[in-house]
Amino acid sequence: MKIFMIGEAANHAGILAASLQQPHEIVPLSREAAQSDAHDGLIGAGDVVISLRLKRTGNPFPPVRLLHVPGAGLDGIDFGSLAPDTAICNVFEHEIPIAEYVLSAMLEWEIRAVEMRRTFTPETWPDVYRERVPHGEIYGKTLCVVGFGRIGRAIATRAKAFGMRILALDAYAGDLGPADEILPPQELDRLLPEVDYLVLACPLTKATTGLIGKAQLVAMKPTAVLINISRAEIADEASLFEALAQKTIGGACLDVWYRYPAGSSDRVEPSSFPFHTLENAVCTPHSSAWTRQLPQRRYAFIAENLNRLARGEPLRNVVRAPGAGPAK
């Protein structure tokens, strides 16, 4: 069994190799191999491919045992380009850093440590100490998590330990877990007036595009904070900017944006609106999941799946079982 690592995945061959129980030949391929058949002669039916992208317009990709996507999203994979017998697996682990980012955002919103540090010097100390301005707490506040999948649950688990009240909105209820209630998405408008922190953790679909629009922002508390770590378009761009500029809501922590650079020299602004100029908007560059530990965990997980494959055991995180293709 050879392991072909395409594009960025090849950077992590060392992590993968370190977690393999038996040695396999690891072959790095350039990112072009995701679209081009130039290297297909190297690839055999007993091999495995690791790639975030795979799409063929001419001949399909050669049959392999497994395509392991080294991320959660499957938008880079054309299922029709793969042989029906090729299994497809993906990998998560980003729920951990995203949940840490969300809790950090809520805590800093209440504590304002940045402001504490800014005003505190050896010279100001006696006055700052005597005139300390009290800050806030997340304890007892109501958190509404829109989308109660892995990410929503990881956020809720942590928030629960702080004594927050957790409302989860999801069409698929599943077990209650750390939530106080799981409610169907249609309940959103009814809940909004109770919510202190509204976290968007659902996928972007037709149903969730513009889910948070003018009516929802008006229904929110004037102190409420929107946190978006999913996809920008779930909150309507113009309505969100207006709500923040006019302080209809308390603020927003935004890690995802309305426009992304496409190539290596593309110049594009993150939004048509100057969110950065608003003092109640905390803007970060789609970094919530981007940790040093994420590839470590992801490639260790992939290696464990390859160990299972070698031992003939069932794979984890199967997106498409062998024989279930080619239709998505």
For its own copies, the binding residues (CB under 8 A) are 96-97, 99-101, 103-105, 107-108, 110-111, 113-114, 116-117, 119-123, 125-126, 128-130, 132, 134-140, 157-158, 160-163, 257, 260-261, 264, 266-271, 274, 276, 282-287, 290-294
Nearer to its own copies, 62 or 178 (CB): 178
Nearer to its own copies, 41 or 122 (CB): 122
Nearer to its own copies, 75 or 266 (CB): 266
177: phi > 0 → left, psi -120 to 50 → alpha, else beta; which? left
Least distance (Å) from its own copies to the CB of residue 299? 14
Nearer to its own copies, 80 or 140 (CB): 140
Nearer to its own copies, 2 or 160 (CB): 160
Does the CA dihedral 8-14-19-23 come out positive or negative?
Answer: positive
Least distance (Å) from its own copies to the CB of residue 30? 18
**Cross-strand partners of 226:** 198, 252
Q: CB neighbours of 265 closer than 8 A, spacing ≥ 6?
A: none
What single string gives the DSSP state of each residue in 17-55?
HHH-SS--EEEEE-GGGGT--TTGGG--TT-EEE-S-B-
Are 31 and 8 in contact by the 8 Å Cβ rule? The answer is yes
Least distance (Å) from its own copies to the CB of residue 203? 21
Least distance (Å) from its own copies to the CB of residue 136? 6
Nearer to its own copies, 104 or 205 (CB): 104
Nearer to its own copies, 10 or 315 (CB): 10
Are 202 and 147 in contact by the 8 Å Cβ rule? The answer is yes
Dihedral of CA atoms 197, 227, 216, 202 in degrees, nearest 10, equals -110
In one-letter notation, the amino acid at residue 199 is V
What single string gives the DSSP state of each residue in 213-255?
-HHHHHHS-TT-EEEE-S-GGGB-HHHHHHHHHTTSSSEEEE-
Least distance (Å) from its own copies to the CB of residue 59? 32
**Cross-strand partners of 274:** none
Nearest to 17 by CA among 3, 31, 29, 37: 3
Nearer to its own copies, 92 or 162 (CB): 162
CA angle, 49 then 52 then 55, to 5°: 80
Least distance (Å) from its own copies to the CB of residue 93? 10
Least distance (Å) from its own copies to the CB of residue 176? 16
What span, in angstroms and rounded, lies between the C-alpha atoms of 16 and 137?
A: 42
Least distance (Å) from its own copies to the CB of residue 62? 32
